[in-house]
Amino acid sequence: MREEDIYKAIKNRSIRAGILRTWENLHNAVEQNIERYRFLKEYAKDVKMAKLEVFSDYDRWTEKAMKSIESRNKCSVYYAEDGKEARKIVAEIVGRDKIIVKAKSMVSEEIQLREFLQEIGNEVWETDLGELIVQLANEKPMHVLAPAIHYSERQAAELLRKVGVKGYTAAELAEGVRKFMRQKFLLADVGISGCNAFSAKTGRIFLVENEGNIRLSTTLPKDYIAIVSIDKILPSDELCLKLVILQAAFLGTFPPAYINVNEPVEGQRMHVIFLNNGRKQAPEFLKEQLTCIKCGRCQIECPIFQITGSLWGNVYGGPMGMGWSGILGEIGYECFLSSLCGKCKEVCPMEIDMPRIIRELRKMMVRGNNLGEV
């Protein structure tokens, strides 16, 4: 991040207004969820322990996960070491001149999949309302789960005019996008999603959502591609279910409208790509970040994120973005932006010690080391 970007973000009132609006909507909802559903803390402990176990031996668990789905008919399984390999596999499956509907997925942001598929001659549509707004604005998501929080209704309406959506209120815009998207769902050749949790036992993909667009993206097209970053592997269906419940509860949207459990079905070709992208090579001090369930609570609650938004970090912003940028080998001087107040650790369901991680990243920057030398 450059210094001028920080000043630009500070002067951008719509970032602050949007994040404050989201904080007002979600802060109390999350607090109430924690108070009301006491089992959430137990779920978090179980998921964290399972994730630590999985990445103590990623190779074995990835092999187990791949085998569990490989045996199914109508399913092809791949492994990609990095974004380049993943894009190559997707390009071979998709080809060109196709219509692709895509569910919101941060791992696809990591590997810049939408831009790549467009470059090789495909029509690609984000199907999540917020992500579509971000696509039309040609920006990256502001928040891991709420990508367009910095846009007011009026600004969103202006962007959605580009695809012929009329109206001004949230309800009118949602209705317009629904109609626009239905056409794309019906015409789409390929659907693409990420994965919130993957059960190594049964080979099932768990995805949580509130709009219903993920189930249409992953079931209607003849070809369905799921990109599973290896930190999403969990030993059982039960743990996967606990994780998606936690993610929804800590975003303040619990109970979620839909939990999708995807597996190969008749009439559709399914392709599952397991992706490493730096996870296996993460240095010891960054391992705890891999237990992150990407609920985005640390972003909303962070006093610096509330001013600058996601402008710190290439893909992931805010406190969690520091650790994830480190894992992706993309950390820069933005790690000095944190005030180290500790709010991120306090609100994180997985109790990840982000101030400790940020201090380690700073030490590295000062020493001029790169991650491989730590």
Query: Terminal CA-to-CA distance of the chain, rounded, Å?
Result: 22
Least spacing, CB of residue 238 vs ligand SF4, in Å: 19
Rounded to whole angstroms, the Cα distance separating 104 from 132 reads: 9
Backbone angles phi, psi at 184, to 5 degrees: -65, -40
DSSP state for residue 202 in the 8-state scheme: T
Among 80, 270, 292, 328, binds ligand SF4 (CB under 6 A): 292
Determine if 133 is a binding residue for ligand SF4 (CB under 6 A): no
Determine if 204 is a binding residue for ligand SF4 (CB under 6 A): no
C-alpha distances (whole Å) from 119 to each of 98, 112, 116, 190, 225 are 12, 11, 5, 16, 18
Among 207, 214, 290, 350, binds ligand SF4 (CB under 6 A): 350
- Asked whether the CA dihedral 248, 251, 256, 257 is positive or negative, the reply is negative
Please report where in the chains the tokens 């970032």 appear, as a residue.
15
Quickly list H helices, the chain: 3-11, 13-36, 39-56, 58-70, 83-94, 106-110, 113-119, 129-137, 153-160, 170-187, 213-219, 237-251, 297-301, 305-308, 318-327, 343-347, 354-367
Determine if 142 is a binding residue for ligand SF4 (CB under 6 A): no
* CB contact at 8 A, 324 and 289: yes
Using the minimum distance from each CB to ligand SF4, give the nearer residue, 192 or 347: 347
Among 273, 297, 343, 357, binds ligand SF4 (CB under 6 A): 297
Determine if 86 is a binding residue for ligand SF4 (CB under 6 A): no
Least spacing, CB of residue 81 vs ligand SF4, in Å: 24
Determine if 294 is a binding residue for ligand SF4 (CB under 6 A): yes
Using the minimum distance from each CB to ligand SF4, give the nearer residue, 47 or 77: 47
User: Of the ranges 72-80, 195-203, 292-300, 327-335, which one interacts with ligand SF4 (CB under 6 A)?
Assistant: 292-300
C-alpha distances (whole Å) from 372 to each of 154, 284, 331 are 46, 11, 12
Determine if 245 is a binding residue for ligand SF4 (CB under 6 A): no
Determine if 19 is a binding residue for ligand SF4 (CB under 6 A): no
* CB contact at 8 A, 142 and 18: yes
Among 349, 358, 360, 371, binds ligand SF4 (CB under 6 A): 349
Determine if 357 is a binding residue for ligand SF4 (CB under 6 A): no
Rounded to whole angstroms, the Cα distance separating 128 from 134 reads: 10
Determine if 26 is a binding residue for ligand SF4 (CB under 6 A): no
User: Of the ranges 2-10, 130-138, 148-156, 287-295, which one interacts with ligand SF4 (CB under 6 A)?
Assistant: 287-295
Using the minimum distance from each CB to ligand SF4, give the nearer residue, 41 or 67: 41
SS3 199: strand
Least spacing, CB of residue 328 vs ligand SF4, in Å: 15
Among 86, 282, 348, 364, binds ligand SF4 (CB under 6 A): 348
Determine if 51 is a binding residue for ligand SF4 (CB under 6 A): no
Rounded to whole angstroms, the Cα distance separating 150 from 270 reads: 35
Determine if 296 is a binding residue for ligand SF4 (CB under 6 A): yes
Among 94, 273, 320, 358, binds ligand SF4 (CB under 6 A): 320
| Longest CA pairwise span in the chain (Å) | 56
Determine if 322 is a binding residue for ligand SF4 (CB under 6 A): no
Residue 143's contacts (CB-CB under 8 Å, 6 or more residues apart) are 19, 22, 149, 296, 299, 300, 310, 317
Determine if 328 is a binding residue for ligand SF4 (CB under 6 A): no
Determine if 295 is a binding residue for ligand SF4 (CB under 6 A): yes
Least spacing, CB of residue 283 vs ligand SF4, in Å: 17
User: Of the ranges 16-24, 173-181, 236-244, 345-353, which one interacts with ligand SF4 (CB under 6 A)?
Assistant: 345-353
DSSP state for residue 270 in the 8-state scheme: E
Least spacing, CB of residue 287 vs ligand SF4, in Å: 13
Rounded to whole angstroms, the Cα distance separating 256 from 274 reads: 26
Determine if 298 is a binding residue for ligand SF4 (CB under 6 A): yes
Binding residues (CB under 6 A) for ligand SF4: these are 292-298, 320, 348-350, 352
